Amino acid sequence: MSPDPRKTFRLDGREIPFREGQSVFDAAMAAGVYIPHLCHNPDFEPHSSCRLCTVIVNGRPFASCTQPAVAGQDVKSDTPELNEMRRSLTEMLLVEGNHYCPACEKSGSCRLQATAYALGLQDTHFPQFFPHRDVDASHPDIILDRDRCILCGLCVRISRTVDRKNVFAMTGRGIATTIVVDSPSGLLADSRVSRDDESVKHCPVGALMMKGEAFKIPIGERPYDKALISEDSVAQFQAREAAAHG
């Protein structure tokens, strides 16, 4: 079902049509307006954990991925204040983990890296944490590098709702929060995870990766090497919308 032209909201002064039940984020992306995001994947249930997609709706902040589109509402996204907040959140994610982009196998396909570039980050202003978290390479096909995890929760949600395995969960609070694995030993090798699990395929950073596949697509030919994440995300979202709704 196409968006109802009689139902629109204003986003940064532009009229955005939407379908009943769409979120502000979904309607904006379908209309070609990029809203920065990390934890949201339109193929799966939104969670609003990263807060990067925060917008101002009728004067109040909301996560656009979970905020329903309502006719007549006034939404602001591309403002100096919101973009500065997004930069600060992205900076904190970069310094909280060990993200050595030039040496990372995920470079060019990493949503965190590409979002930092889209927001104009060239350096960080906060001190690096340099954490030392466990790397789990016990599985024959999959590696879990907790130092690269941004705690978006995608693997947790997808393993629960799509793979139906509940392999991953989060434990701890604040800076001590980490991903844990449901197995007798706590290791991937003793869990039910497999190379075909959707939870492994959709990690937005280099925390969950397939062994032996990191450089099948050479650097320079990866998605964000060829297009800005804003262009790539909008194009993929619109293609998905066209396939689903015509």
Q: How far is CA 190 from CA 145, 177, 181, in A?
A: 17, 22, 9
Note whether 149 and 124 are same-domain residues: yes
Does pLDDT of 125 surpass 90? no
**Does the reported pTM lie above 0.85?**
yes
Give tens-digit pLDDT for 8-42: 999 999 999 999 999 999 999 999 999 999 999 98
Does pLDDT of 1 surpass 70? no
Note whether 136 and 26 are same-domain residues: no
Give tens-digit pLDDT for 173-191: 988 899 999 999 999 999 9
Note whether 67 and 98 are same-domain residues: no
CATH number at residue 152: 3.30.70.20
Provide the domain count of the chain.
2
Model confidence at 152, pLDDT cuts 50, 70, 90, reads very high
**Phi, psi (deg, nearest 5) at residue 38:** -130, -50
Range of the domain at 162: 90-226
CA 66 to chain CA mean position, Å: 14
CATH number at residue 22: 3.10.20.740
Note whether 123 and 239 are same-domain residues: no
Note whether 131 and 181 are same-domain residues: yes
Mean pLDDT to the nearest integer, 105-121: 95
Note whether 140 and 163 are same-domain residues: yes
